[in-house]
Structure 1
């Protein structure tokens, strides 16, 4: 894919945030590859920064066998989290801000010092964590009908939408990240269950993967940044008026409320 096609694709994805999803990129551009997809993502990141947005962290997606099976992919991906993606817990989130939103529970890391790969170990990753929080990620796709492959979602900033963080930080050494069970409810009904071990065996493995993957590209994870390591359960659709709560053993709860549609 040449530079002009990458730029046009990035522009189309940015325009899609205003309400019109685009056809699957891998159908429109059969030559699209991994390098193209990440460069298309970065073109959008640079434009958002130029428009005044600030990178506040990263997300790792497609880390569980359930999510990979659900979307037909076989490896993780990553995207960027911007300042305007964060919503306070229990505040009404306008569902109209998204095209086709779904939600998933995650154990969020908040870093106390920079983390730069390649070569980051589990011990180094844990030493860089300030605390963990229960989190809900609102995932969204600018690709029509969620008909995505790996390259589609990478180009689309890993299908990022928004983030709701819990308000009770916990030291990472007080939580068994692998065994932390999760119950996801929507409108007081259980819709999914899972555990931290669904995320590459442990969410910290996802943090290591991210630090080493972006580090090879000359990017480091910064102090204060939030890292979403991936979902403990399959994603669940949401509509206006829904109330979604994730309860994690040893971490507590986090709730996302969606404003009723007018």
Structure 2
């Protein structure tokens, strides 16, 4: 029962964090929020029943704690499933077809299906032994999901950057004809050259990040090490994106006749 308490607590922390970082444009977000609220309520009730059982370990109190745990787990699994669908939808909505994102969508669909299945399967739990078996099996399976979830979160970032590059290219193509009269000016020429350079650098950095992410394998996978290694690339991408935007704004503001 104590082990289940720790698992439920860690899940609460992760799901609460996830709700702050995912966009709410997806239709799955309302379902995710609803199930997360249910999970919070059920978890609070479970704590009370667990404490009652620990203080007075009767069969009746044990059954109440098990029933509450089942309700909590069901809400947790539905919250997880919808969280995964929110992430998948965030990738899909960009319309970007990229090897890493296509793999991520397939992986996320399988993970969501698993959690929906678990939300139903927990109803078959009757005894503490059943609950222990259910929890052990879940931990074993979800451990294999960590790599796919990490790759999917990176894929989400990658498609957002690719989408930005598409928008930046459209802005550049729109800006260029307006600069025809001043393209020989040194500052304008330098600005256009910097746009080209930054765009190439961003594309290369996106490709590098995508390759590193796609090359990860379960045996050598470490979340902390991966995020540490990837953070430098993300910082470089953000810096180049900021530089690119500033140059386009500068050229449009100071050299285009409006």
Identify the TM-score tier after normalising by the shorter chain: under 0.3
Higher helix proportion (structure 1 or 2): 2
Considering Cα pairs closer than 8 Å and 6+ residues apart, tell me whether 1 or 2 has the greater RCO: 1
The structure whose residues are more often strand, as a share, is 1
TM-score scaled by length of structure 1: 0.23
